[in-house]
Chain A
Amino acid sequence: MKPEEIGILIVDDEPSVRDSLYQWFTVDGYRVDTAEDAATALKKLQEKPWDIILLDIKMPGMDGIELQNRIKQIDKNIVTIIITAYATVDTAIQALKDGAFDYVTKPIDPDDLSRLIRNAVEKRRLVTENIQLRQQIEELMLPDEVVGESPAIKKVMEMVNTVAKTDSTVMILGESGTGKELIARAIHSRSSRKYFPIITINCGAYPEGLLESELFGHEKGSFTGAIYRRKGKLEMADKGTLFLDEIGNISEKMQMDLLRVIETKKFTRLGGDKTIDCDFRVISATNKDLEKAVKDESFREDLYYRLNVFSIVLPPLRERRSDIPLIARYFLNKYTQSMNKNVTDFSPRAMEMFTAYDWPGNIREVRNVVERAMVVAKGNQIQAEELSFPFPSLSSPSGGESLDDVEKDQIVKILNKTKGNIAQAADILKISRLTLYNKIEKYHLKR
């Protein structure tokens, strides 16, 4: 920060002190003003922003310590420096406890004053930079927002906003591809832990021993291959959020270990004996029926209730069809930018196919289909022929009664049954594969 960008307010009842400090800082290039008492200082604080305030402790009326408290109520980031002619340990401690940046006695050594102001400016710069970076982080978080306007997803987002303010454990339930991790990130980014990391671990992706090492970390030599000490995901999530994906897939021993860690927030690294304290919030997710697993005794009941203080059930995409165009266009815009292609929309027919399809793979499947379509798209609209998902509208019979409608519905039904296998479908329909291809073309069922 350049000196002219810094505002210094001097509050002292002695005119000679005010004048000499005014001159001193003016020739240093700062924006300077003075106030002879607390009331004038508070008035000047409302008129203009100030970065550094030098306060005399002993003033008629409100003293410097009380004024500092009022200043901190107006702007807690203003750097305050207490100046006094009569230094006592008590006032110094009080001033620093109340948030003073420093406490100096009159007269001040010129070099000390210069250094003090340099440090105060540096602190102010760091605070300002910190505020700006936080704003940037918040702006960067926005693109990951959950897309959708259906009542079902609005209800989910209401729950996200409610639970984000608390520190409760959250269990997110939903079919594969419904965006469970996105919801976990949405909770994290709206919580007070947002400036700390969210650490994701896919519990289903690791064999038991490896999952233990991933979570708890290990000391050097704790097992074959542990050639150095490694922090686990629990330590990495300190002050942040730990997202345990596919929690339904963990072993009985791991369930027990995890329960202990969640309850005590203490653990030891594998092969270590030092207890490590950790502060994290747990969000877990599964596509399994954990209640059933608890009944079957394959999942610990106590862990289930510990993880499931608050649960959010994500609806599958087929239950919020009105969101499909929004999601499809969201991915279209995303890939338009990353692939640098001038594709602006879907053709009406392509969008019809999108909304008619059941999307068993949910949002992940939409993303994949849009990505593939973007690769092959030739014009500025994605055409139906450029879509490559297993038979759009297969599960949505037309319901018409004409011969064509009945024929189309039967073909759709059989293709659904054979999961798109042309040879098998043709065999069941007792027609040749070529005829089936022609009919798929005729009824716009082509992939």
Chain B
Amino acid sequence: MSYIYIVPIELEDHSCLEKLESFFFETFHLKTRRREFKINLKEAFDPNRGQYNSSLILRQLIMKPPRDAEKILAVLDVDLFIPILTFVFGEAQLKGIGAVVSTRRLHNRFYGLPEDAEVTTDRLLKESVHELGHTFGLIHCSQPKCVMNSSTYVENIDLKQAELCPLCQKSIKIDRTRTAHKGFRFSWWGKNSRVG
């Protein structure tokens, strides 16, 4: 059996991860495992920008994947960037194994607003599904409510749902023989919607 590994890195509050675990199973038909990986964040730190290079974190993350790892998702609370952009919410390998998401710019407090843990968890869930979607080969979707719709600022994340649209569900490459819970039905922005 393969798993989605959730790897918290220097994350103070782990409570949000539980929601991720149950939702990943429903979305990708894969069970999850939570593990600590040895990641040296200092290597990814850029003192000129005061930010962390997400590509360098990703490189460390996928260096020695566990044998039963279908996907590995690192969750951090630092400000991420890629060299060409001022910031990113996360990064993933397209059709690869690894993905990284950060809660730093998902917190309301980052924008000078009162903190709301539920909102942060919601955003983290959407960004995590989004980045894992890329590892399953999904590209950005033009459907505004689909979780694979591109988000370049935090309000964008709030506008979309946590689920994949029917077209993305169809495109996603999941080995259904390895799903533990057969007969699961996707919900799509309806009454059964688990998030949003």
Contacts and interface: CB of A to CB of B under 8 A. Distances in A.
Interface of A: 14, 16-17, 19-21, 23-24, 26-29, 83, 106-111, 113-114
29 contacts: A17-B83, A19-B55, A20-B82, A20-B84, A20-B85, A23-B94, A26-B139, A27-B94, A27-B134, A27-B140, A27-B150, A28-B140, A29-B139, A29-B140, A83-B84, A106-B83, A107-B81, A107-B83, A107-B84, A107-B85, A108-B84, A108-B85, A109-B85, A109-B86, A109-B152, A110-B153, A113-B85, A113-B152, A114-B152
Nearest to A111: B152
The 9 closest A-B pairs by CB, nearest first: A111-B152, A20-B82, A110-B152, A16-B83, A29-B139, A20-B84, A107-B86, A109-B86, A17-B84
From DSSP, what is the main secondary structure of chain A's interface residues? Answer: helix
Interface in B77-112: 81-88, 91, 94
Contact of A111 (B83, B84, B139, B153): B153
A340 to B, nearest CB: 44
From DSSP, what is the main secondary structure of chain B's interface residues? Answer: loop
A20 B83 contact: yes
A83 B85 CA distance: 12
A16 B59 CA distance: 13
A109 B55 CA distance: 17
Interface of B: 49, 55, 81-88, 91, 94, 134, 139-140, 150, 152-153
A23 B88 CA distance: 13
B139 A106 contact: no
A16 to B, nearest CB: 4
A110 B87 contact: yes
A114 B140 CA distance: 12
Contacts of B140: 27-29
B141 to A, nearest CB: 9
Nearest to A83: B84
Contacts of B134: 27
A11 to B, nearest CB: 13
Contact of B86 (A21, A26, A110): A110
Contacts of A14: 83
B85 A110 contact: yes
A201 to B, nearest CB: 50
Contact of B84 (A24, A27, A28, A114): A24
B150 A21 contact: no
A21 B140 CA distance: 15
B153 to A, nearest CB: 5
Contacts of B91: 23
A245 to B, nearest CB: 53
Contacts of B94: 23, 26-27
Contact of B55 (A16, A28, A108, A113): A16
Given A106-B83, A107-B86, A110-B85, 12 more contacts: A16-B55, A16-B82, A17-B84, A24-B82, A27-B134, A28-B140, A29-B139, A107-B81, A108-B85, A108-B86, A109-B152, A110-B86
A111 B88 CA distance: 10
Contacts of A107: 49, 81, 83-86
A14 B55 CA distance: 15
A31 to B, nearest CB: 12
A24 B152 CA distance: 11
Contacts of B84: 16-17, 20-21, 24, 83, 106-108, 113
Contacts of B55: 16, 19-20
A95 B103 CA distance: 38
B139 A110 contact: no
A110 B140 CA distance: 14
A29 B141 CA distance: 9
A110 B82 CA distance: 10
